[in-house]
Copies of this chain bind each other. A is one copy, B any other.
Amino acid sequence: MEFRRVSEAVIRRMPKYYRQLTVLRDQGMERISSGRLAQMMRLNASQVRQDFNCFGGFGQQGYGYNVNTLLAEIKNILAITHPYNAIIVGAGNIGTALANFDGFEQEGFIIKALFDVKEELVGTEIDGKPVYHIDELERYVQENNITIGVIAARRSVAQEIADRMVASGIKGIWNFAPMDVTATVPVENIHMTDSLICLMYKMHHNVISEN
């Protein structure tokens, strides 16, 4: 299926629907109206219907959505139904935190190994995942069907790592270094400072609102 005209804003809302619907399913809810879902997510109902229409729409007018069906459709659209093998470059605090976090596997994100240049880290394991020297990157990616590369390294080397990842065949980059990297494959740059600045804005202007 092709969704070429789906905007970035819609794409970014899809994981939030996914999260909210997972909560509703776990609560045993069977049906939900666009109005009620919108209210829970602090959107308006027409926005929700418009978002879903980007993908063909999932419900019948006035009848609401079946929670399980909707969740399955969204999982399918989000392509989180099959596993992605990943590696992390940078075995410092952020890399270690990511390697230790056990909440990713349900999304099909499987961290296989880490890479670093520090001799004292190479050869160790983090949460059972081996740490290799960065010189092993290209060979490892090719031999182990790695599709996602996580950058958890310093700003000064982030773009170079991104380039090496793409050259070795990686299909998507998740970047935690505090600078944007660019690539010929999809990239998600994490901007933690943006979130911090939003918090400061809300504190200053006394906005108690959604997340």
Q: A residues touching B (Cβ–Cβ < 8 Å)?
A: 2-4, 6, 8-9, 11-12, 14-16, 18-19, 42, 77-80, 84, 92-94, 96-97, 100-101, 103-104, 107-109, 147-148, 171-174, 178, 180, 184-211
Q: Are B203 and A147 in contact (CB-based, < 8 A)?
A: yes
Whether B8 pairs with A209 at a CB distance below 8 angstroms is yes
Task: For A205, list chain B residues within 8 Å (CB).
Answer: 2-4, 6, 79
Q: Which of B92, B97, B178 contacts A103 (CB 8 A)?
A: B178
A105 shortest CB reach to chain B, Å: 11
State the number of copies, please. 2
* Known interface pairs A93-B93, A97-B93, A211-B188; A148-B199 also in contact (CB < 8 Å): yes
**Contact: A207 with B195, CB < 8 Å?**
no
Do residues A195 and B185 form an inter-chain contact, with CB atoms below 8 A?
no
Min Cβ gap A168→B in Å is 16
**Set B14, B15, B108: member contacting A191, Cβ < 8 A:** B15
Contact in complex: A19, B191 (CB < 8 Å): yes
Chain B positions within 8 Å of A207 at CB level: 11, 186
- Bound-state Cα–Cα, A4 to B147, Å: 44
User: In whole angstroms, how far apart are the Cα atoms of A187 and B208 in the complex?
Assistant: 7
Given that A104-B193, A196-B109 are known contacts, is A11 also in contact with B172, CB under 8 Å in the complex?
A: no
A46 to chain B, nearest CB (A): 15
Question: Can you report 25 residue pairs joining A to B where beta carbons are below 8 Å apart?
Answer: A11-B202, A11-B207, A14-B201, A16-B191, A19-B194, A78-B204, A79-B200, A79-B203, A93-B93, A93-B94, A97-B97, A104-B193, A107-B196, A107-B200, A109-B196, A109-B200, A171-B203, A173-B199, A174-B199, A184-B208, A187-B199, A188-B196, A188-B199, A188-B211, A190-B192
